[in-house]
């Protein structure tokens, strides 16, 4: 995984949400959470696994809605932040945070109803291996997002020390074929890259996001989108 040592640093974990989901980044947080909720649907009683759960943004959200959920991450520092968030939300007894390797998931086949990963595959050096493991432990649904190329993300990538893995539609179709997953539906969004929104205040980000969304609803939306959300079914 790209930037694995950086990601596991305590100071990175402590500042992670403040740096990414404050200012205009709040719009990103809101959209990503809605994407997860739209894909997963009712979670009460569902067995759910989140891969690369980080600080537990989604793990805690779904626990609050009644999911029987496990959040797995390789970073102890990130998991510590997630446990703190769960305690504050009053759901610490309704979820489990576990340190583990997404390439070798410590669960039997078909153990979960839904397995998902957000902000993960742009860092994956072997995406087929990771997605195959997600498919193996799910008996129904796998959901994940990717950064798209070509898009404005390609330009933004030049500024990043680690870069990101970008996926074309052909790349994702091949990935699904190689792992035995069937595409249920997909959403494509964000003409402007995430990094742009994180740099600007809410008052500026909101109208720009409105324009971004308006373009996204035209015929140009899908080809120009920098982020895709993939909802798939285990066959």
For 64-89, the pLDDT digits (tens) are: 999 999 999 999 999 999 999 999 99
Residue 92 has a pLDDT of 96
Residue 149 has a pLDDT of 80
* The Cα angle at residue 51 between residues 170 and 86, in degrees rounded to 5: 140
Report the relative pairing of strands 166-167 and 68-73 from DSSP bridges. Answer: unpaired
pLDDT above 70 for 162 = no
Residue 205 has a pLDDT of 95
DSSP string, 125-193: SSHHHHHHHHHHHEEEEEEEEEEESSSHHHHHHTT-SS---EE-HHHHHHHHHHHTEEEEEEEEE-SS-
Query: What's the rounded mean pLDDT across residues 182-203?
Result: 93
Query: What's the rounded mean pLDDT across residues 87-115?
Result: 96
pLDDT above 80 for 157 = no
Residue 52 has a pLDDT of 95
Percentage of the residues of the chain whose pLDDT score is greater than 70: 90
pLDDT above 80 for 153 = no
Pairwise pLDDT comparison (4 vs 122), residue with the higher score: 122
pLDDT above 70 for 12 = no
- Confidence band (pLDDT; 50, 70, 90) for 18? confident
Query: What's the rounded mean pLDDT across residues 112-139?
Result: 96
Residue 125 has a pLDDT of 87
């Amino acid at each position: 995984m790209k930037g694995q040592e950086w990601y596991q640093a305590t100071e990175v974990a402590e500042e992670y949400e403040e740096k990414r989901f404050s200012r205009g980044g709040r719009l990103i947080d809101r959209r990503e959470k809605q994407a997860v909720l739209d894909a997963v649907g009712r979670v009460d009683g569902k067995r759910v696994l989140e891969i690369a759960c980080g600080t537990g943004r989604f793990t805690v959200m779904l626990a609050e809605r009644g999911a029987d959920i496990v959040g797995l991450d390789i970073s102890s520092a990130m998991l510590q932040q997630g446990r703190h968030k769960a305690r504050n939300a009053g759901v610490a007894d309704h979820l489990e945070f576990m340190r583990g390797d997404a390439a070798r998931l410590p669960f039997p086949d078909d153990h979960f109803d839904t397995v998902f990963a957000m902000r993960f595959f742009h860092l994956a050096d072997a995406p087929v291996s990771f997605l195959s493991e997600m498919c193996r432990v799910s008996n129904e649904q796998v959901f994940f997002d990717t950064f798209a190329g070509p898009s404005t993300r390609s330009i933004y990538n030049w500024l990043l020390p680690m870069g990101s893995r970008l996926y074309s539609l052909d790349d994702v179709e091949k990935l699904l074929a190689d792992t035995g997953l069937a595409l249920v539906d997909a959403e494509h969004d964000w003409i402007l890259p995430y990094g742009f929104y994180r740099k600007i205040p809410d008052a500026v980000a909101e109208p720009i996001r409105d324009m971004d969304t308006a373009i996204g609803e035209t015929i140009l939306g899908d080809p120009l989108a920098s982020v895709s959300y993939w909802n798939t079914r285990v066959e």
